[in-house]
Amino acid sequence: MEEALSGGNTHEQIVRVGSTVRRPIGPWTPGVHALLSHLEQAGYTGAPRVHGFDRQGREVLDYIDGEVVHPRHSYLVEEDEALAEVAVTIRRFHDAVGGFAAAERFAWSDRGSDPHGAAEILCHNDLAPWNLIHSTDDRWVFIDWDLAAPGRRAWDLSFALLTLVPLMPNDAADDRHVAERLGVFVGAYGADLVPTDVLTVAIERCEREADLIFRLGEAGEPPYDRLLREGHGEIWSLAATHITARAPTWQPALRLR
């Protein structure tokens, strides 16, 4: 029996079947499956395992039992201890993916990919609360790996900072609190590996998200047409302006080396 799943911004037609999730595939799927298999072999527990395809041609992944942080369980990452645990989960992913060879053999999605930077690591590209589950066995698990692609470490980390610290203006945290949360994240991830330009790259990511939504939404391309109607383009544009103004105040929190 299939149970429709919801909650994401960019993917539809996702269903649960027993202990698995079934999802539509794309040109990026072979690379994503190779990545998830690599992470499993490396002992990384912050991603679902892949189980091939079903008779309808959909990919089959683990169903992760637990609470998705966004939109109804944001309190799960409000405590500094939880934020630090998530930062460690991301660091372990970045460490594990360092052994993934021949990324150039695969096609990757360009929807979240780094348009300018060097291919330093293979990024998840959507490390955000809507893709983060606190599992019933007390793991932090990131789902929805379809946007994975090579890029800068700062490109991947900046999105986590934007959405998990968070840096977004609608969250209305004062500068002191944001700086404290940045310090928690950076300290847990490892300050020596957090690029000093990560806040500048966060602005770049906001501008990129806004551009995708305005450009593809106005062309009527789903799901960006819906995101445009819901005002997400304006949200990301305002975020870019906000972070540009506040970054000099927050920057010292990154200097934990």
**Residue that the structure tokens 């900072």 belong to:** 161
Residues of the chain with pLDDT under 50: 257
The confidence score (pLDDT) of residue 101 equals 85
Same domain membership, residue 243 and residue 137: yes
Is residue 202 within 8 Å of residue 186, measured between CB atoms? no
The confidence score (pLDDT) of residue 8 equals 53
The confidence score (pLDDT) of residue 48 equals 98
State which of 13, 28, 62 marks the end of a domain.
62
In tens, the pLDDT along 52-89 reads: 999 999 999 999 999 999 999 999 999 999 999 999 99
Same domain membership, residue 85 and residue 121: yes
Same domain membership, residue 172 and residue 122: yes
The confidence score (pLDDT) of residue 256 equals 62
The confidence score (pLDDT) of residue 172 equals 64
Same domain membership, residue 209 and residue 110: yes
Same domain membership, residue 104 and residue 26: no
DSSP notation for 56-68: TS-EEEE---EEE
Same domain membership, residue 21 and residue 95: no
Q: Would you mind telling me the total number of residues written for the chain in this entry?
A: 257
Q: In what order do the strands lie in the sheet with 140-142?
A: 66-68, 132-135, 140-142
* CATH number for the domain that contains residue 150: 1.10.510.10
Q: How many domains does the chain have?
A: 2
The confidence score (pLDDT) of residue 216 equals 96
Is residue 131 within 8 Å of residue 156, measured between CB atoms? no
Gap between the Cα atoms of 56 and 41, Å rounded: 27
Gap between the Cα atoms of 152 and 23, Å rounded: 27
Gap between the Cα atoms of 180 and 165, Å rounded: 9
State which of 62, 89, 110 marks the end of a domain.
62
**Residue 20: domain span:** 2-62
Same domain membership, residue 239 and residue 162: yes
Same domain membership, residue 126 and residue 54: no
The confidence score (pLDDT) of residue 7 equals 55
The confidence score (pLDDT) of residue 11 equals 56
